[in-house]
């Protein structure tokens, strides 16, 4: 889920600006996209969820952390219900 969000943000930045920053931070990518595309800033209203998605990606790869079904479903619901529609609208 994190990689999907990251790649979509980088893709939109590439379309809007011709480049994108070499970072994995969803928050930084959203902030950069908000400078280039009106409406992208709405994603910053959910900074807690973006941070949770970032942390889950890191935790699942580097830490012995298990995620509850409800956590994963909440992240997926956010991506499908808010993130994707905002990104698709840019």
Domain of residue 77: give its range: 2-88
Query: For position 79, what pLDDT does the model report?
Result: 98
Report pLDDT digits (tens) over 18-74.
999 999 999 999 999 999 999 999 999 999 999 999 999 887 777 778 889 999 999
Query: For position 20, what pLDDT does the model report?
Result: 96
Q: Average pLDDT in the 3-10 region?
A: 97
Cβ within 8 Å of residue 53, ≥6 positions away: 1, 2, 5, 26, 75, 78, 79
Kindly indicate the confidence band of residue 12, based on its pLDDT and cuts at 50, 70 and 90: very high
Domain count, the chain: 1
């Amino acid at each position: 889920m994190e990689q999907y969000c990251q790649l979509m943000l980088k893709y939109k930045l590439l379309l809007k600006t011709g480049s994108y920053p070499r970072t994995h931070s969803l928050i930084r990518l959203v902030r950069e996209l908000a400078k280039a595309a009106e409406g992208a800033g709405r994603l910053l209203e959910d900074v807690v969820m973006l941070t949770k998605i970032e942390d889950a990606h890191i935790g699942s790869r580097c830490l012995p952390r298990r995620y509850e079904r409800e956590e994963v479903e909440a992240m997926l619901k956010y991506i499908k219900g808010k993130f994707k529609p905002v990104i698709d609208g840019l």
